[in-house]
Chain A
Amino acid sequence: MKERYTAISRRQLLKLATGFGVSVGLHPLLQRSARATGVASPMLGELLPIDRYPNQIDLKVFQEQIKIGDRQSNAITVNGTVPGPVIRLKEGQIAKINVSNELDSETSIHWHGLILPATMDGVPGISFNGIKPKTTFSYEFPVNQNGTYWYHSHSGLQEQQGHFGALIIDSLQPEPFSYNRDYVVMLSDWTEEDPHQVLSNLKKVSTFYNYQQRTIAHFSEDADWARMRMDPTDIADVTGATYTYLMNGMAPANNWTALFKQGEKVRLRFINASAMTYFDVRIPGLKMTVVQADGQNVQPVSVDEFRIAVAETYDVIVEPEESKPYSIFAETMDRSGYARGTLSPQMGLVAAIPPLRTRPLRTMADMGMDHGSHGDHGGHGPKQQDKPIDHKSPQMDHGGHGMQAMPNANHAEHNMSEMNSSPAMDHSGHDMHNMDTAPAMDHSGHDMRQMDDGGADLGEAVPHGPDHHGVGNAGVPMMVKNRLHEPGIGLESTPDHKVLVYTDLRSLEPGSDGRSPDRELELHLTGNMERYMWSFDGKKYSESPILQFYYGERLRLTFVNDTMMEHPIHLHGMWMEIDNGAGAYKPRKHVLNVKPAEKCSVEVNVDVTGNWAFHCHLLYHMEAGMMRTVAIVERPMGEQS
């Protein structure tokens, strides 16, 4: 492919530099007037080694007009920029961060992924009462972890308006991987609309932003979906119809650029600060080695592409062999747009931008209707696009299958013996890609099956049972199964194109807690897209606010996704250890993406006290009520410890 080289003058570039690179840990904050002249010290998002960390950090939250792309937009900024400044801390220090609210309304900052005292978690109504206008709240907490994290407002819909930034904690110990350059790559979705208007529009017409719906050309093909009153094109609620996708606050045309010299290893810390957008990230021409997920070291995995759910972080290392520009391409899951930057040996160069792929379609697998038929050992689900269907692929999504697809319909006609005659599930094929790239996997601790009963095996479908979740749940999948080994809708993992899956994630160090869970709590992810209602177990936050964890227990949380959408589930204050078959090497995460019709589990050591937020990190789902307060309580008398 021929590359176009475009020169951008340094002056233009500085104009674009919104001051993102001003690391709080590095300098006193620039005066606002200085910022306006575009004086950005290091490169945007570049992290340089530092030897001194500030004793105190001052953040101010403003509402102001800033330039996003080529337009002046109304934003909520932290210290005058979107994203806010990179906060740089050192493991072992005490963080003191003063947040002053210059808005007319309440604000807050939540330190996403940090383990800290309950009163410092920054969630209004749970941790504290929020930061009232013209007041300052002083956060103070010990920093006992390291890695890539982020911070964002937990008030109203401010996160959508730009109130977020990166939070980088440098490790006390030498890190288990090396690199020459270090960049934050913060992805976000930006709309010029008032976010309250966005939610209001979704409540009026749930397909308001979906301009990739199926037309009558597919009328008969889609008859089954129509009968179920479901929309197979509902991949993202809010799309490129209103969103511009940003990388470090810069629109695709502005081309955020990270410099490297030939032969250098570059660390890219991807943070998905979007309100609603999942990204599929590629750097065409480069393999990416995933070394951290959600700030936790993992056994290195070499991939061509990874999906980053809302609020997740992935650190990758790349080693460009040639001295030429490479596109950092973050395509939205619904293919309605992309964020883009360039990894380049010098400023002003660009590489080809890959074409957007076809928007995928939901399949019967997302309804739990695929009868356990999957002969896809790379763990990829059926791929479906608006093109002639390849009947050799295991697709079940076109009409004529005689599905009794109506939730709770009479399934008598379902021949369950089909399930036994479907291609035998060959677990030896699961999860074994990457054997070569993973460092010395210890198979003794690696059991393909769950370590104990209580969860379905990967890919093994179990009946969902009847729906007891009321009018807020528009039906349930017939069967649910663990899909942690699947890359997700619209992504195919092939020998030539490796896509990261959750079963690839194995903690670098074995977990210290070998206990089996004392208790299992099953939560259903529920929703009614038609009315844009979202909840857990059919109950909104306002109806059932409290979830109780017992202090000291090891809890298995099992998620069952009754909806046809992915949900990034976020637990504050405690790590979720993902039951992905990695045994003692279960990865720790703060956000777990749960796929449609999926049943999967995490284990939580309940070793903190207080009250914590727990919610879907899709901002408008949370606002609609898909949230709980987790209250840590004493184990009731009579319960086994």
Chain B
Amino acid sequence: MKHYLLNKTLGAIACGLGLLPMAPAAAEHNPLPETAIAQHRHSADPEIPAGFTPLPGVEPEYHGDQTYGLLLFEQLEYRSQQGENSVNWEINGWRGGDYQRLWLKSEGEIGTETGDGEQETQILYSKLITSFWEFQTGLRYDYEWGEDSNKDRFLGVVGLQGLLPYKLETDAAIFISEAGDLSARLSLERQLLLTQKLILQPELEVNLAAQSVEEFGIGSGLNDITLSARLRYEVNRNFAPYVGLDWSRKFAGSADYSRAEGESVENWSIAGGVRLLF
């Protein structure tokens, strides 16, 4: 990592620390390589009562804290829209145990004609705090590139991810940039089975900001709302081609910045792509 990135990182962390609750220490054991036989590892503090003695010569093995992982290309698609068409991605992944995981979230867009684009990547520590909710905290890195300029910034992240009643998959996060700007995002999704293999996935995303950040075209207040639906056909759980429809609209200051740039504040797009689960 370049030095300036490191400095930005430290800056973002420093800004974030005021907000972030202290994260619990991660598990102390290093995951061992997985072999054909499940690795048995001692967890930090198993409750072994006094008076327990293993049989002579037997080394106890206690399992249940193995490491697992997921890598989901939720979106890998071509979008046709009013402006420049684009290739978009949205990736979610985690690695860890039942209680503590390291999360990766990445999304972005690359214009098919100019090659201009933007991406946002988050690396988060995640802890299960109730049966259905994970507390997440970590870093987000935004990068926009194009002919005019390249710009980037780091943000600290605090969020909750989980399942609301009615099985609404929810991700709510607060971001604080290295400049101290505060923003928030809420996204809600639901999986609706039309058949066992044909699945409709509606999604709502709302972005808010406390301050204007002109450089990134963000006004204060409500920034934008996106409503989308993707219809996928699961050839199997790992491979599902889909079509999608997105409607997004910018509001308030964000809309003003868009108009000033000559962009539309409302955008419809049609997408086709594949969803991949690893």
Contacts and interface: CB of A to CB of B under 8 A. Distances in A.
Contacts of A208: 237
A627 B64 contact: yes
A623 B131 contact: no
In this complex, the member of B53, B55, B200 whose beta carbon has the largest number of chain A beta carbons within 10 angstroms is B55
Nearest to A626: B64
A91 interface: no
A437 interface: no
Contacts of A212: 196
A469 to B, nearest CB: 9
Contacts of B52: 546, 548, 629, 631, 633
A406 interface: yes
Interface string A509-552: 00000000000000000001011010100011111111010000
B55 A126 contact: yes
A208 B68 CA distance: 15
A129 B57 contact: yes
Nearest to B129: A471
Contacts of B197: 211
Contact of A474 (B131, B192, B277): B131
B165 interface: yes
A540 B194 contact: no
Contact of B194 (A127, A215, A226, A531): A215
Interface in B118-158: 128-132
Nearest to B198: A215
A216 interface: yes
A639 B135 CA distance: 44
Interface string A174-201: 0000000000000000000000100111
A578 to B, nearest CB: 27
B166 A227 contact: yes
B267 to A, nearest CB: 28
Interface string B200-238: 100000000000000000000000000000000000010
Nearest to A119: B55
B218 to A, nearest CB: 34
Contact of A213 (B51, B165, B166, B193): B193
B43 A543 contact: yes
B63 A627 contact: yes
Contacts of B132: 229, 474, 530
A155 B37 contact: yes
A353 interface: no
A231 to B, nearest CB: 9
Contact of B165 (A124, A227, A633): A227
A205 interface: yes
Contact of B34 (A118, A124, A196, A548): A196
A232 B237 CA distance: 20
A471 B131 contact: yes
B193 A216 contact: yes
Interface in B37-72: 37-38, 40-43, 46-49, 51-55, 57-66, 68-70
Interface residues of B, number: 51
Contact of A471 (B49, B128, B237): B128
Contacts of A156: 36-38
A501 to B, nearest CB: 32
Contacts of B51: 548, 631, 633-634
A442 to B, nearest CB: 42
A627 B65 CA distance: 12
Interface in A611-639: 611, 623-627, 629, 631, 633-634
B98 interface: yes
Contact of A545 (B59, B60, B165, B167): B60
A200 B97 CA distance: 11
Interface in A569-604: none
B30 interface: no
Contacts of A155: 37
Interface in B136-195: 163, 165-167, 192-195
Contacts of A535: 64
Given A406-B165, A548-B51, 20 more contacts: A104-B36, A105-B35, A125-B62, A129-B59, A156-B38, A200-B68, A204-B69, A205-B277, A208-B237, A212-B196, A215-B194, A528-B131, A530-B132, A541-B63, A542-B62, A543-B43, A545-B60, A546-B47, A548-B49, A626-B64
26 contacts: A105-B35, A106-B37, A119-B55, A125-B60, A125-B62, A126-B55, A127-B55, A128-B58, A129-B59, A157-B38, A200-B69, A208-B237, A213-B193, A215-B196, A226-B165, A228-B165, A540-B65, A541-B64, A542-B63, A543-B64, A546-B48, A610-B55, A623-B63, A624-B64, A625-B65, A627-B63
> Which 5 A-B residue pairs are closest in the complex by CB-CB distance?
A625-B64, A125-B61, A540-B64, A156-B37, A542-B64
